[in-house]
Amino acid sequence: MEKKPQHEGMCKIIVSDRARQMLAEHIRFLAKINTSVACNTKNRLIDAIRSLHQLPERYPFLQAEFIPPNKYHKMFVEKWYLILYQIKDQTVYVDAIIDCRQDYQWLIR
């Protein structure tokens, strides 16, 4: 039996500038309250994003009125954070990192 290369089936991950900025804002806000929580949250969000290199399609599509069907996948992290991403060929594009405790309806209009 032939061994497959370990990287086969792995996706490249690209995080948009907008998503990076959103992450920085969330962490900056948390750091004002508790730096330890901010650091842990940042690490968990980054780990979750990195996990998308394998089977990124394991998360469901976002269903929203103003979003084309089957465009964005949604991944919830730590019950309050929503990561929106697209898969094109062998690349995952992370477009948004949203704190669901805030109103994010503006994002999908």
pLDDT tens-digit readout, 7-21: 357 999 999 999 999
**Contacts (Cβ under 8 Å, ≥6 apart) of 82:** 74, 75, 76, 96, 97, 98, 100, 104
* Fold assignment, 12-99: YaeB-like fold (3.30.2310)
Question: 37 is written with which tokens?
Answer: 């929580």
Residue 97 C-beta-side C-alpha neighbours within 13 Å: 24
What pLDDT is stored for residue 100 in this prediction?
85
- Tens digit of each residue's pLDDT (9 = 90 or more) over 70-86: 999 999 998 889 999 99
Name residue 82's amino acid.
Answer: L
**Number of residues in the chain:** 109
Helix residue spans in 1-109 (DSSP H): 17-33, 35-50
Q: What is the pTM of this model?
A: 0.83
Q: Delimit the domains of the chain by residue range.
A: 12-99
Name residue 60's amino acid.
Answer: P
What pLDDT is stored for residue 35 in this prediction?
97
**Dist CA 15 CA 4 (whole Å):** 28
